[in-house]
Every structure is written in structure tokens, then in C-alpha cells.
Structure 1
Amino acid sequence: MSEINEGKKSEYRVAVGIDVGTTYSSFAYAHKKAPREIYPYTDWPEFSGRFKTPTALLYDEGFKNLKAWGFPALAERPTRRNKNSTSKPVERFTLHLGSMENKSPLPNGLDYKKAITDYLRELSKIIKQTIANIWELDFFTHVVLVLTIPTEFDDNAIAIMRACAFEAGLLRNLNSRNLVFITEPEAAAIHCMESLKQHNLQVGTNIMVVDCGGGTVDLTTRQLLDDDKLSEITERTKDFCGGSYVDQEFLNFLRCRVGTSTINLVNDKHYHQLQYVLQEFCRKVKIRFSGDKSEFVPVDLELDELCPVLEKYCKGEYLNRMEQNDWRVRLNFEDVKAMFDPVVERIMLLINAQLRSSNNSSALILVGGFSESKYLQSRIKQEFSTKVRVISIPPQPATAIIKGAVTYGMKEEVHTSRVLKWTYGTSINKKWKQGDPEERKLPGGRINRFDRLAKKGTQVDERVTRTFYPCCKHQRKIVIDIFITSEDDAKYCDDPHVKPLGRLSIELPLSLNDEICFITFTLTFDDFEIQACTEVSNIGERYETTFYLDV
């Protein structure tokens, strides 16, 4: 638990939305004087023109120095100088913030928090320089940062991201108010509100957001309220079936041509060359594929030029066949469709399941990098046009999340409620009564119990308020412990499934006229961080804190 530094929202002039994704990252920015003019950054090192850069880092031995990040860390065209390079970048390190099993292992000696911090540090240099080139202002005072997060991030993950952002130089103080968080689907929904207005959606309409990223596909359903506000009505669902899994299917295609052991060895010893082949596949095939056979043109890949080291490891029948074909492989329509279909089918299943859990939706918004795929768009329209009245695909769906984050930074009151992933509660001291465990009886005939503040799976309108009284008028301190549990409720705070979130200690004033004062306690779920505010009666003194799990 740490004190929150006060910040004045009226001082914010620029909002920056930042999305550090599993496979790709991006940011956008806008000034409050022109809030509709949101600019995604595209001038990435060595790969200008794209909205995103890979979430990848390249270190020297021992991970002391960072050699490259983004595109330069991931793929490099083979040359005489680097054709034997064996260095391998670090990827998918943000997955270690989540609770998924079988995370991609990191190299020995590298902590995922260091990787996140190093990546944010390089990103912060570009963000600061970009803002400084356009406006004269104090970055830490006049810029609000909105960091998008996956839906499964818990309070601990958010706390780690904040700590990494501070270490990376994005914040002046650890608990600076100019950093707020928003989930990726919520940011996407906020951005798409403008495009949905043309469909005259009524208040009460259910809107499903399908965020198809590089690694994951994330779904949530929201309800349209008055004044274009949104309320979350279902718990989020997700699966690992984003665009990068099409890349994996392409690698499986290559395995059938040159051998599994060949691809594995190249991936292990010459990662940059294999990634260069993948980039060529994305540029020439994946991005252009629409699923329309009449407009498809077969693509030939010259593997001896794109990945010359393949010749070193290819053996036996695979080698004979590749030499006969001059190391050329042809991608036909059926080949490419077979790469897309297993991934697309999983997305179809996710959407169907979300429709059932939300009692159907009248609108579906498709966003995220993989949503740029014409084939995915056509399949979704074909499958769901009779089930969902409006299917909306905004221009540049890859930028919807960061643009929505910028909009959120301009006016944070867009959302009004959310579905909680945890049950929150506190320890309360009550009179022991018959039937209570004898071993839990405290001196004075009292007992400590778990008192639920907010239940998992329910909607909470931003905050929960509770009043606490001292046990007697002479009490000089009140301690409020906050706990979380994955269950709907708990009896006691030391139950196995209950975890401590934080502790708030309040010094009580001497009671005026011997009156017993009381504490108004408010737990706020705004900005995706758990903040607590207390106000002591009689003197009206307020205390604000935020809770963090161990990072």
C-alpha cells in the first residue's frame, strides 16, 4: 500500500495511449484542443510506415546491454556480414504478467520485469521525443498516459506495469496520477462509439467487442447507456488464436518442405533469418489474402535468398527435393487457406460462445491487428450477418485500441461500470455469538470475520462505500485490511482462497465533545487500480491510498 500523489486533471493537455501487446506494440497521441485528431505513431526504427512494432528485445550475452528492440531485434535480411549470426531476441515476455500456463520460457538470467522495463524505456524515449517535437510542455505535468492491458491482468500485474513504467522513466513518481489503465476491449469500444452512431443504436443495445491481436483474441460484451456511456455485462473470454498462429501454420508448411528438424535448428541457431522469411510471408501473402480464389495469385518464395542457412541443415529426401526445385516453394490458394482456417474457426467458436452468454448482441465490433485480415472479416460477416444486426469494422482496426485509449485519457468518465474478476472484502470485528468457532473467540467476546464489499462477477458502478465505527470512543487508530478471493464469499480472512490486498491505517483524532467519530471508507475500481479513500467525521480529514500486491 502506498500513498497516491495528487494530480490535477485540468493540467493535462496531451493524452498518449500505449499498447504493449504480446507480439506487437504501438502508441498514439492527441491534444485536448483537437481531441478528434488522434495520431498513431508510424516512424518506427528501420520500419517506417507501420502502426506497430514487434514486442521484441535483443540483448548481448549476460543481458547487461540492449542491442536492439522492435523490428531490428526480430528480423534481418541475410547478408555476408550476418549470415552466421546466432543471436536470438526475447519475445512474449509480457505473458509472464498473466496467469496462463506454459508461458514461453525466458533465457536464464533474464527477469521478465527487466524485459518489460527495458522495452518501456525504449518506447518512452520515442514518446517523449515525439511530444517534444510538436508541443512545448512539461511531460510529467501536462501529459496523461493511458496504458492498455489485457483483460486477465489482476491487481498484481497492474502494479508491476506501473513499477516498470516508473523505472523506464515514463513517470516522475511511482504513484503519479498521470498514468491510468484501461482494458484493451474497453478502449476499442470507446473508439468505435463514433462509427456506431450512424447505425442509430438504442440505449440498452448489447455491443460485442472482438479484439483480434497477434497472440490472443479477446471478447467482451457491453451495453449502451445514456450519453454514449458503456456498461460491461459479461465476463471476458479469450483464446490464443491471434494472427501469429497463422504464422505458425506457415512454419508447419515449411516443415513439410524442408523437414521439422531443419526448421527447429534454424529457429534455434539462426532465428533472425527465419523471422525474415516470416516477414516476407506476411508482406506478400498473409496481409493480402482475402479468401477469394478468383483474385489470388500464387506466390513463389526463394528460400535460398530469404534464408540461405536452410541449405546447411536440410538433409536427405528434403534436400534432394529442394535442390530439384531450385529452393523455390510455391504457395497456392489451398495452401494459404489451410493456414488461416484452423485459427479462424477458433475465433468463430469464441464469438458464438460470447453471443450465448450475453443473450445475443445487436452489434459486433471487430478490432485489433489481425482484424485487418480481409479473410477474417469476410468469414465473420458470412457467419454472423444473420445473427447480429450491425457488424462494424472501423478504418484501420489495428489502431482502434490506442485511439480509444487516447479518447479515454481525454474524458475518463466514458465507462460507468465493470464486471469484477475478484470478490473484495475486509476484516470486520463483531461480537462472538453462539455457533461461532470457539477457537476464534477473542478477548472481550469478539470475533474477526470476512465482510464482503463487492462480489466477483457483478457490476460495480466504480466505487463501493462503507462506514466503520471505532469499538469505543477512546480508540485512537482504525486498521482496514482489504482482501480478495476467487470465491463469491468467504467466512474468514485466513481461509485458503483469501489473499491480502493491502492495509490502510488511520489515526483517529481526539473525539470532539466525547462524540465517537466514524470513518467513511470508499473503494474505487476506476482506472483499473484499486484505490481507497477514507474521510474521518467531525474534522472531515481525507486520506487517499492505493493497494498493490507484492511486485
Structure 2
Amino acid sequence: MPGRQVVAAIDFGTTYSGYAYAYYSEFRSDPLKIYAYTRWSNEANLQTIKTPTTILFNKDRNFDSFGYEAEMKYEKLSAEDTHTGWRYFRRFKMKLYENEKRLRKNLKLYDDQGNHMPAVEVFGAAIRYLKDHALMQIRHRASDFHDTDIDWVLTVPAIWEDGAKQFMTLAANTAGIPTDQLMLAYEPEAAAIYCQHLTLPSSMHNGTDYVETNPMSKFLIVDLGGGTVDIAAYEMQDKGFISSLSSPSGGPWGGTVVDQEFRSFLESLFGKIVLDDMCTLHSLEMDHAIEATKRAMAKSKEDVMFKPPPVFDGINSMADVRTIRDRIVIGNNVFTKMFTTPIEKITDHVTTLLKDPILQGVKTILLVGGFAESDIIQNAMKDKFSHRYNVIIPEEAGLAILKGAVIYGQNPCVVVTRRLAFSYGISIDVPFDDTTHPVERRFIRNGKEMCENVFDVFVKKGDVVTPGVITVQRELKVPHIGATDIRVDVYKSGEDCIPTFITQCKKVGELFFALQAPSTTEQVLIKVQMSFGGTRVLVGAQEVNQPWNCVTAEFDWLM
């Protein structure tokens, strides 16, 4: 943005998080000159490209540590039996998806001890840690660098609802990132933006020399994260711009599903009591053993050894599972079955999407995200789709979203259009029509028959919208003379056929207007302008008759 020097992106994931940054001055000559911090170290001093999304607060609810440091600190406290009262949260991003139907500003998160904290404080502290870590790295290059010199980009799943996006904005504000320095980037969009800058050799897919990046070529992004899978289709435009072909879709089919299957397998192997003891007494060791086994199996077709914590004295008999001293040998076929659920969910969903006429002409399927680095997932997708499509896994698939978010922050206009996943509107009363309106919705106002609770549609599901462009305009009256504000309930529907009444929709928020100079003689008429094309819905308003009077307008999705 004008006057700023750097754009930095935070990829806040369910299982792992990280950041990257770039300088505006270098972007034109080399859009891929991106500095991603990839030197996170665990207790074994092994470096990873991201750090676990794990955070620890002390007994006074003050921030203590994040990532590997939080894991090691809490493990030490647990070993010394001094952890009681500390608050340890991991993989908490999924709580926004799980609670999206009832997400509120006062959402609380609970740790394994039953302690709770306001979710916005937990998310805010995590973002603040990553923000401060990034600033420290940036200042190593330019010591006179100021907080106001930077634009921040925060990645979010495209399938998230508006409330979750507003929540992340509030958390970023809590972390010290002002709204005017913050952009949200949809994860599959960021990946699409990054991949169009790559030259992908034929060894990465199945035959063609390069991915088509010429105008009008179409491709599908499958973002395989730890918690959710985000899928969207795009079309290349001139000069590297992209347009959305489909509304984003997906579900909770990420890598943590395999973790859950693995734990169920271990429960069958050891019994619930022994497994609970392992998870309680050796939580970090168990997590790392599971992760190491997953990674080893994902890169091999051979049996894999799992070394559990030293509290088991035997296992239940199970086919293709045996012990060698203090290790358990798991047959490849046993472990592969743990991927069955996410593979079926993902491949079935992609198959359904590709039947949509609007996606005819798609030739490429790009797999990105940390879960995309699993050979088991890659092979399943290739087995299912490579006979008709180029199935591509770019190098550093786990960093594609992060680096793409940096590029997006440099030029948000690269996304030309988006396609809406929902219809949005408000409730209005209209003159009663006995040929279309049910009699139970009829009422009398000022001697006229009216019909109540009609869904007045602002935008429709599937509409193509342009970021930064006014999508819809409305004129609304304040409820009475002298009123200082208006609150209008906002509803949405995911149905292809637009509902007639709001009772067939879901209330998702409020449209709020505050008048600086309310009239004492008439009901003020307000002109409202809304833009649904960005990653956040924007609204502006002014008085029709006295446009110089200030009117504050905003959407609130977290009532």
C-alpha cells in the first residue's frame, strides 16, 4: 500500500503456522523474492518450515510461549507435576469452524485441564507472537523499520463463514495489527496466485511439459490443510490475473482426521486405559511419535515402526501388527486404511465438482497444503484423476499458501472476480399478493394488506462479484423520527433456489448504522452501498437529503 515498505503474511494453520515477507521495492523485478522463515526447531533440534499452532499461558493467564517452545515447556511442567493451572491450547483454529453456527465474540476455549480463556485472547496472543517474530526478522535487515511500514496478510479458509473471518480480524486487532494494515487472503486463492508464478517440470505431474498459464486456462486448487480441505476453481486471465470459476467448498477432511484414526487404532491396540495414561503422562512424546510414524509411512510402502512411550507392557493381538523389543511394527496396509475417510471425502467431492458444466475445460488439479505432502494422498488423487487431468504437487506444497499470500498482499487486484457461495439479504414487508403469499403472513398496516418477513435479496448464490466494486445499493428509513441508529438483521441462504421468506434462511448478522446528526422532524432516509467482492463484506452509507451528515455503517457477524 502507498508509503509502506513491506508486506508480511501469517499462515495461521490448524496444526502448524508460519510467516513470510517481501519488500515492495523488489516485487516488480522478482515476485518470488519472498523471505519465508523456515528455521523452527523442536527439542531434537530438527528444523521445520513451520511451528506447531500450540500456545501456553501461565496460571495468571499471561502469555508464556508458542510453538515448539510451548510444547517443551508444558511437557516439562507435566513431568514435574507443576502444570496444574497453566493453560495449554493446541489445534484450536478448528474451533472457529466447529462453532461457526453459533460463533460469538465471547467464545471460550477449554484446555485439557478444563481451564478456559476467551478465544479472542488465545488467537490474539498467537498472532502477536508470529507478528513480533516476523518484525524481529525484518528489523535484522532494516533496523529503522517501524510497525506502520508494513501491510499484514492473514490467511483464512475460503469455506469459512463471515463470522469466523470477523473473529480473526478482531484477534489480529488484539495482536496489535490495525484494520487498515490488515488483509485477509483466501487460502486456495493464495495457492493459485503462487502456482501461476512457478515453472512446474513434467516430473511433477503426468506428461505435459508445463502447467498451462495462458489466458483462459482453467485449474482446480485442492488445499489440503491440517484441519480443513478447501477447494476452488480458477481461470487465468491476461497479465497473471485470475477469476473464480466456482464458489469455494470443502469440509473438515484434513490431516487431523488421520490423527484421530491413528489414536483409535492405538486404543484398539493398547486399550483405552493404557492409551489415556500415555496421552496424559507423555503427551508430547505421543504426539511426536504419531507424527513421525505418519511421515515415515507417507513416504514409504514398507512397514513402519512406532515407538510408544515406556508405559505399555503388551498389545492386543491384531493382524499385521507385531512387536520388536520396545517398538511396534505396523503393516503398511493397516496404516494406509487410516487415510480412507479423508481420501473418500476429498475424491468424491472433487468428482462432483468436476461434473459442473462451468468447470468443463479444467485440465489441471493442483494439490497444496501440508497434507498434500503425503504420498498416500498424492497417489490416491493421481489414481482417481490422472487419466483425465494433470495432478500436480508443486515443490514446497506446504509453503504455497504462505508465499501466495505475500504475493496477494503486494497486489490484491490480481483476483479479478469471485463467485458467491451464498445469497444474502434482509427481511422486508411487501404489499400482500393473495396469488403468491400465504394468508398466515398477512397483516394490516395503515389500512393496507401487507406480507411480512419476505427475503429481500442483496446478492444471489453464484453471482460473480468484483472486489472493490459496489455490488448493491439500497435506501433504508430509520425506524422513527429522532432515531440515532438502525439495526437490520442480515440473512443468508445456500440454496440454489432463492427462498421467498427469511424463515427459510439463516440469520447471520446485523447491518448497523449510527447517525451523527439525527433529524427531529422526519424519518431520515439512508443510502446504503455494499461490496461483496472482497474477502470481507464492506458497507458504506450516507443520508440521502443531507449527505454531509456522517453515517457510520458496518456489518456485525458476531452478534
Does TM, scored on the shorter chain, surpass 0.5? yes
1:547 aligns with 2:555: yes
1:236 aligns with 2:234: no
Deviations 1:129-162 (A, max 9, x none): 1222223565442211111112232222222211
Identify the residue that residue 460 of structure 1 maps to in structure 2. 465
Distance change >3 Å, CA 69–CA 233, structure 1 → 2: same
Query: Which range is displaced more, 324-333 or 113-122?
Result: 324-333
Distance change >3 Å, CA 130–CA 527, structure 1 → 2: farther
Structure 2 CA distance for aligned equivalents of residues 484 and 333 of structure 1: 49
| Structure 2 counterpart SS, 1:395 | coil
Of 440, 443, 454, which aligns to 1:439?
443
Identify the residue that residue 403 of structure 2 maps to in structure 1. 403
Structure 2 CA distance for aligned equivalents of residues 245 and 15 of structure 1: 33
1:69 aligns with 2:56: no
Structure 1 CA distance for aligned equivalents of residues 40 and 387 of structure 2: 41
Distance change >3 Å, CA 248–CA 550, structure 1 → 2: closer
Of 141, 150, 155, which aligns to 1:148?
155
Identify the residue that residue 344 of structure 1 maps to in structure 2. 343
Identify the residue that residue 181 of structure 1 maps to in structure 2. 184
The 8 Å contact of residues 485 and 498 in structure 1, kept in 2 or not, is answered as yes
Paired positions, count: 513
Alignment of 1:244-259 (within 5 A): 244-259=256-271
Alignment of 1:36-435 (within 5 A): 36=31, 37-44=33-40, 46=42, 49-60=47-58, 62=59, 64-74=61-71, 82=79, 89-99=88-98, 106=111, 107-136=114-143, 139-171=146-178, 176-195=179-198, 198-282=210-294, 285-286=296-297, 288-289=299-300, 291=301, 296=302, 298-303=303-308, 307-308=309-310, 310-311=311-312, 314=313, 325-357=324-356, 359-360=359-360, 361-388=362-389, 390-426=390-426, 432=431
Aligned-residue offset at 1:407: 0.8
Aligned-residue offset at 1:194: 1.8
Distance change >3 Å, CA 545–CA 40, structure 1 → 2: farther
Aligned-residue offset at 1:29: 0.7
The 8 Å contact of residues 220 and 235 in structure 1, kept in 2 or not, is answered as yes
Aligned-residue offset at 1:12: 2.4
Structure 1: which 5+ residue stretches go unaligned?
A: 1-8, 511-516
Structure 2 CA distance for aligned equivalents of residues 382 and 135 of structure 1: 49
Aligned-residue offset at 1:444: 9.3
Structure 2 CA distance for aligned equivalents of residues 185 and 356 of structure 1: 20
Deviations 1:75-125 (A, max 9, x none): 689899937687784223222222469999643433322321222222222
Distance change >3 Å, CA 440–CA 218, structure 1 → 2: farther
Higher relative contact order (CA closer than 8 Å, sequence separation 6+) = 1
Structure 1 CA distance for aligned equivalents of residues 129 and 70 of structure 2: 12
Deviations 1:413-467 (A, max 9, x none): 111222323322356687x567586535258999886532111333222331326
Distance change >3 Å, CA 118–CA 199, structure 1 → 2: closer
Aligned-residue offset at 1:227: 3.4
Of 14, 23, 42, which aligns to 2:6?
14
Q: Which amino acid aligns with 1:178?
A: Q
Aligned-residue offset at 1:213: 1.1
The 8 Å contact of residues 144 and 179 in structure 1, kept in 2 or not, is answered as yes
Structure 2 CA distance for aligned equivalents of residues 33 and 370 of structure 1: 34
Query: Which range is displaced more, 460-469 or 14-23?
Result: 460-469
Deviations 1:178-235 (A, max 9, x none): 1111211111111112237943445433311101111222211223333332222323
Structure 1 CA distance for aligned equivalents of residues 49 and 156 of structure 2: 18
Structure 2 CA distance for aligned equivalents of residues 301 and 446 of structure 1: 70
Distance change >3 Å, CA 246–CA 157, structure 1 → 2: closer
Distance change >3 Å, CA 380–CA 316, structure 1 → 2: closer
Deviations 1:494-535 (A, max 9, x none): 88744542222457899xxxxxx9965421124421211246
Structure 1 CA distance for aligned equivalents of residues 76 and 542 of structure 2: 67
Identify the residue that residue 503 of structure 1 maps to in structure 2. 512
Distance change >3 Å, CA 536–CA 349, structure 1 → 2: same
| Structure 2 counterpart SS, 1:409 | helix
TM-score, normalisation: structure 2: 0.78
The 8 Å contact of residues 475 and 508 in structure 1, kept in 2 or not, is answered as no
Distance change >3 Å, CA 29–CA 332, structure 1 → 2: same
Percent of aligned pairs with the same residue? 24
Deviations 1:262-292 (A, max 9, x none): 1122213432231232243245x14533x4x
Structure 2 CA distance for aligned equivalents of residues 181 and 275 of structure 1: 31
Structure 2 CA distance for aligned equivalents of residues 323 and 330 of structure 1: 5
Structure 2 CA distance for aligned equivalents of residues 200 and 399 of structure 1: 21
The 8 Å contact of residues 220 and 354 in structure 1, kept in 2 or not, is answered as no
Query: Which range is displaced more, 397-406 or 518-527?
Result: 518-527
Identify the residue that residue 6 of structure 1 maps to in structure 2. none
Aligned-residue offset at 1:10: 0.9
The 8 Å contact of residues 100 and 161 in structure 2, kept in 1 or not, is answered as no
| Structure 2 counterpart SS, 1:16 | strand
| Structure 2 counterpart SS, 1:110 | strand
Structure 2 CA distance for aligned equivalents of residues 81 and 519 of structure 1: 59
Structure 1 CA distance for aligned equivalents of residues 235 and 336 of structure 2: 35
The 8 Å contact of residues 45 and 70 in structure 1, kept in 2 or not, is answered as no
Distance change >3 Å, CA 507–CA 356, structure 1 → 2: same
Distance change >3 Å, CA 140–CA 426, structure 1 → 2: farther
TM-score, normalisation: structure 1: 0.79
RMSD: 4.1
Distance change >3 Å, CA 257–CA 521, structure 1 → 2: closer
| Structure 1 counterpart SS, 2:25 | coil
The 8 Å contact of residues 63 and 110 in structure 1, kept in 2 or not, is answered as no
The 8 Å contact of residues 57 and 63 in structure 2, kept in 1 or not, is answered as yes
